[in-house]
């Protein structure tokens, strides 16, 4: 549908109203309940990844928990339910927030720089990080988070009207709403809009392979290179996340890694050295790695923000190991936000926060030495 027909459709916002919401509001916009739009059964859809077990139990095969769920019960993520021995997603089209974000905010630094991503969220998560930045939608119960029921067609229309080059599945964990995200991304592809996922990487191989057919880029939060941190702080598992990073490489999906650096808990340079070596050996030195500063949030309010010197030290450690693109996040104006050509060392993209202030790449090549930089520079 073109812009005019979208504008004219009776159940939609006008372009002006939409841009007011999506383009200028600086916080995530939570969609209020609307009469007739918040019935839970309207967001129920048969799950794609599960198997039936005796006694009307099912086993979910979407993420590494592989929950075995009795009739009438929900899985660990609380957004999938066994109904009479069949398994269902409860969040199909259940959109709790949407917003137009610069792609650099995701963060993607090697994916269509300076473009906007139409960013949508659902509800819930399959892990429970003590520092969760979006706990209001990721950790609250399904019934406590306002939402609107949106179709893939609506998402595409909203993305088009706001001039976005991509759809971003973000804010809460996209893995657990994979049925809806797949349908949105497939439709986006038909409309020449890209799709990106911002994820904890805790997903099984088969659903990831299916998603890879319609997703262009994946940002994986590698939260530590240490199972005890995953056990105590994330309530998850490290190994499946590492597998996801390797599988994304095999599937040819552009991948960037974010490492949220929490003071005293995951800032040991020796572990960072081991992680950087693993990345270099398993997926190569060109995968961008972002060391982000932590700010106290959710259940980790007792810790201070990460000192800038700490993320600088970890960045230098990863560069010394031989990673080519190591960034610093949440320190606007820091030189570690820029992209440097690994061949000649000159800055080729300069950033301040989420804004690109200069991009000197020509067809993805360094203008000084002609070196081709890895990334997704064109649509």
List residues near ligand SF4 by CB under 6 A: 60, 62-63, 65-67, 75-77, 80, 126, 176
Q: How far is the CB of 77 from ligand SF4 (least distance, A)?
A: 3
Q: How far is the CB of 183 from ligand SF4 (least distance, A)?
A: 17
Looking at the Cβ atoms of 235 and 273, the one nearer to ligand SF4 is 235
Burial bucket for residue 36 (CB in 10 Å: 0-12, 13-18, 19+):
exposed
Looking at the Cβ atoms of 235 and 277, the one nearer to ligand SF4 is 235
Q: How far is the CB of 176 from ligand SF4 (least distance, A)?
A: 5
Q: How far is the CB of 120 from ligand SF4 (least distance, A)?
A: 18
* Rounded-to-integer distance, Cα 230 and Cα 237, Å: 6
C-alpha 155, offset from chain centre:
17
Looking at the Cβ atoms of 78 and 324, the one nearer to ligand SF4 is 78
Phi/psi for 211 (5° steps) reads -60, -35
Q: How far is the CB of 128 from ligand SF4 (least distance, A)?
A: 11
- Helix and strand numbers, DSSP H then E, in the chain: 10, 20
C-alpha 213, offset from chain centre:
17
Looking at the Cβ atoms of 215 and 321, the one nearer to ligand SF4 is 215
H/E stretch holding 194:
strand 194-199
**187: which 2 tokens?**
């439709």
Q: Are 165 and 186 in contact (CB under 8 A)?
A: no
**166: which 2 tokens?**
């991509």
Q: How far is the CB of 59 from ligand SF4 (least distance, A)?
A: 8
Burial bucket for residue 296 (CB in 10 Å: 0-12, 13-18, 19+):
middle
Nearest one of 149, 160, 151 to 100, comparing CA atoms = 160
Looking at the Cβ atoms of 76 and 165, the one nearer to ligand SF4 is 76
Residue nearest to ligand SF4 as judged by C-beta position:
75
Q: Which pairing describes strands 326-329 and 339-340: parallel, antiparallel, or unpaired?
A: unpaired
Q: How far is the CB of 307 from ligand SF4 (least distance, A)?
A: 35
Q: How far is the CB of 40 from ligand SF4 (least distance, A)?
A: 17
Whether omega before 214 lies within 30 degrees of 0, making that bond cis, reads no
* Rounded-to-integer distance, Cα 157 and Cα 152, Å: 9
Looking at the Cβ atoms of 240 and 288, the one nearer to ligand SF4 is 240
Looking at the Cβ atoms of 63 and 193, the one nearer to ligand SF4 is 63
DSSP 258: E
Looking at the Cβ atoms of 90 and 168, the one nearer to ligand SF4 is 90
Q: Are 114 and 102 in contact (CB under 8 A)?
A: yes
């Amino acid at each position: 549908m073109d812009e005019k027909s979208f504008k004219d459709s009776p159940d939609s916002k006008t372009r002006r109203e939409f841009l007011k919401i999506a383009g200028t509001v600086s916080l995530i916009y939570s969609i209020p309940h609307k009469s007739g739009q918040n019935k839970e059964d309207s967001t129920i859809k048969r799950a794609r990844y599960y198997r039936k077990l005796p006694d009307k139990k099912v086993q979910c095969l979407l993420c590494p928990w592989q929950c075995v769920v009795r009739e009438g019960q929900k899985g660990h993520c609380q957004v999938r339910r066994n109904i009479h021995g069949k398994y269902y997603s409860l969040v199909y089209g259940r959109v709790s927030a949407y917003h137009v974000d610069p792609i650099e905010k995701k963060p993607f630094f090697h994916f269509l720089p300076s473009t906007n991503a139409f960013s949508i969220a659902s509800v819930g998560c399959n892990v429970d990080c003590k520092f969760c930045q979006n706990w209001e939608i990721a950790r609250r119960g399904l019934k406590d988070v306002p939402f609107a029921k949106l179709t893939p067609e609506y998402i595409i229309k909203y993305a088009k009207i706001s001039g976005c080059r991509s759809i971003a599945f973000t804010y809460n964990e996209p893995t657990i709403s994979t049925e809806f995200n797949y349908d949105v991304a497939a439709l986006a592809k038909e409309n020449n809009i890209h799709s990106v996922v911002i994820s904890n990487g805790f997903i099984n191989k088969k659903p990831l392979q299916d998603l890879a057919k319609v997703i262009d880029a994946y940002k994986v939060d590698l939260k530590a290179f240490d199972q005890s941190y995953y056990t105590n702080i994330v309530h998850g598992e490290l190994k499946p996340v590492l597998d996801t990073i390797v599988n994304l490489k095999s599937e040819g999906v552009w991948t960037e890694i974010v490492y949220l650096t929490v003071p005293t808990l995951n800032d040991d340079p020796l572990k960072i050295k081991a992680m950087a070596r693993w990345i270099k050996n398993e997926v190569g030195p060109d995968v961008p790695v972002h060391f982000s500063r932590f700010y106290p949030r959710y259940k980790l309010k007792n810790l201070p923000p990460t000192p800038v010197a700490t993320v600088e030290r970890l960045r230098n450690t990863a560069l010394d190991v031989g990673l080519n693109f190591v960034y610093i996040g949440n320190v606007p104006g820091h030189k570690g936000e820029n992209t440097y050509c690994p061949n000649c060392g000159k800055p080729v993209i300069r950033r301040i926060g989420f804004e690109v202030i200069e991009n000197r790449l020509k067809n993805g090549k360094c203008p000084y030495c002609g070196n081709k930089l890895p990334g997704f520079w064109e649509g």
